Amino acid sequence: MSEPLSKASLDALIETYDGFLIDAYGVLVDKGSAMPGARELLARLDAVGRPWLVVTNSASRLPETLSAELGAFGLQVAPERFLTSGALLAEHFAEQGLAGSRCVVLGTQESRIYTERASGHVVPLNEETDAEVLIVADQKGVHCLRDMDLAVSLILHRMDAGRPLHLLLCNPDLIYPVGEGQFGFTAGGLAAMLEAVVRERYPAAAKGFVRLGKPHRPMFSAARRRLDADRPLLIGDQLGTDILGAERNGIDSVLVGTGLAPRSDPATWPVRPTWLLPSLEG
């Protein structure tokens, strides 16, 4: 039988850890407001000189847009405090030599700006489109049936012709919290649909999306470099992205009981946080 998980206090966590990685949606904010205790947490970290970053799988909005949105909720988070999955495109493009590649982007206009900042050449998605890179950035801005039909056609056209296509998924999340008891469908679900088609048509190809956001390595490698803390702590609400990613990358974690936090018996959880915290209020 698993040992019971330990409940933590914010005071103890701030005393123990020297840097903080904080999820945005479900921890600091939901769709309409700041979470209780969010303002106080950021103020306390600043007061004691603990470095912190907001790490989010969002690739639909640029850091400057996110800063303005959280500011409207009373949270003062400068653009440089955000590490988004969209921002990870730049490092990936540099590592893979993709600068100047023609890119189809499923997402928003700001998703396309992320791609341009990574030195990709964004091309429109239509029946005649050919590209070397397909980026699934966000569900917003996607006309689901039309754009998914065009995207799968692009993938299969390239594969049928034996021509490479680089598949990138910024946000691996399947769902996100919209409000109390309400959830939305995200980019990870769109990528999973496309991968299912590829597996059906080419079962031996093992072709899939490179995942950049939590729980995968690119997000946590970038977070560790930027935070530059000896003993960081991740504060999140999702087992499958926040907590799993922290565990895979040797980072302690605290699961906050808001957002998408599971309501089931912790003994049944597939991954276990280091600490439990009912909410940011303590």
Is residue 218 included in any domain, yes or no? Answer: yes
- Structural domain count, the chain: 2
Do 41 and 118 belong together in one domain? no
Q: Report the pLDDT value the prediction gives residue 260, as an integer from 0 to 100.
A: 67
Do 251 and 270 belong together in one domain? yes
Do 109 and 221 belong together in one domain? no
The whole-model pTM stands at: 0.90
Q: Report the pLDDT value the prediction gives residue 1, as an integer from 0 to 100.
A: 35
Report pLDDT digits (tens) over 136-186: 999 998 998 999 999 999 999 999 999 989 999 999 988 766 666 777 778
CATH at 77: 3.40.50.1000
Do 203 and 124 belong together in one domain? yes
Q: Report the pLDDT value the prediction gives residue 181, as an integer from 0 to 100.
A: 74
Is residue 140 included in any domain, yes or no? Answer: yes
Do 204 and 246 belong together in one domain? no
Q: Which residues of the chain have pLDDT under 70?
A: 1-5, 176-180, 260, 282
At which of 171, 194, 211 does a domain end? 211
Q: What is the 3-state secondary structure (H, E, C) of the chain?
A: CCCCCEECCHHHHHHHCCEEEEECECCCECCCCECCCHHHHHHHHHHCCCCEEEEECCCCCCHHHHHHHHHHCCCCCCHHHEEECCCHHHHHHHHHCCCCCEEEEECCHHHHHHHHHCCCEECCCCCCCCCCEEEECCCCCCCHHHHHHHHHHHHHHHHHCCCCCEEEECCCCCEEEEECCEEEECHHHHHHHHHHHHHHHCCCCCCCCEECCCCCHHHHHHHHHHHCCCCEEEEECCHHHHHHHHHHCCCEEEEECCCCCCCCCHHHCCCCCCEEECCCCC
Domain residues for the domain of 168 are: 90-211
At which of 165, 189, 211 does a domain end? 211
